[in-house]
Amino acid sequence: MAVSTNDLKNGMTLNLPEGLFGVVEFQHVKPGKGGAFVRTKLKNVRTGAVVERTYRADEKLEQAIIEKREMQFLYRDGADYVFMDTTTYEQMSVTPASLGDAVNFLKETDEAILEIFEGEIVGVDLPAAVELTITETEPGMQGDRVSGARKPATLQTGLLVQVPLFVNPGDVIKVDTRSGEYLTRA
């Protein structure tokens, strides 16, 4: 679907010849001399690279229609992840490469919103924080309460995070899905 550069909005996805790009920022500029133009900052949906582009006012660009489907992660089948659509109960097998960093935060029965464009997964929306169990870390010592001291811990998904010294194996912690950092004990 063609959309005018005058109608751009933050979060809109464009299907450009170089690939899929999300509009991060745009600014309509009307100089004193010459025609108006739109200065944009676009983020590649697949690679995350940010580029800046300038378009003439009222230039037509192709808008990508991204389908967002609420899915539940059921189980791992070999290397693949099996998801179930929560409305149609249809199951879908997904490779770890299409999920990206989301594989570090997904555990069985978790809900995620998969962004699909022409049958291909282009993004995963996760909650801001998830609760994961620590499988491996050095045990906390009595009196070991140095402010700000950290130690490495392996979580049930295989993700390695830095946690405070008082956290023990088997503890459930909250992890920020955007930065991958420890937030608090659950």
pLDDT digit string, tens, across residues 5-54: 888 888 888 888 888 888 999 999 888 888 889 999 998 887 778 999 99
What is the model's pLDDT at position 142? 61
Q: State how far Cα 172 lies from the chain centre.
A: 22
pLDDT digit string, tens, across residues 148-172: 778 889 998 888 998 888 888 888 9
- Fold of the domain spanning 129-185: OB fold (Dihydrolipoamide Acetyltransferase, E2P) (2.40.50)
- Fold of the domain spanning 2-62: SH3 type barrels. (2.30.30)
pTM: 0.72
What is the model's pLDDT at position 145? 63
Match 């909250």 to its residue by tokens: 174
Domain ranges of the chain: 2-62, 67-125, 129-185
Per the CB < 8 A criterion, the answer to whether 86 and 111 are in contact is: yes
What is the model's pLDDT at position 41? 93
Burial class (CB in 10 A: 0-12, 13-18, 19+), 168: middle
Angle at 62 between CA 58 and CA 63, to 5 degrees: 105
Over residues 171-178, the mean pLDDT reads 89
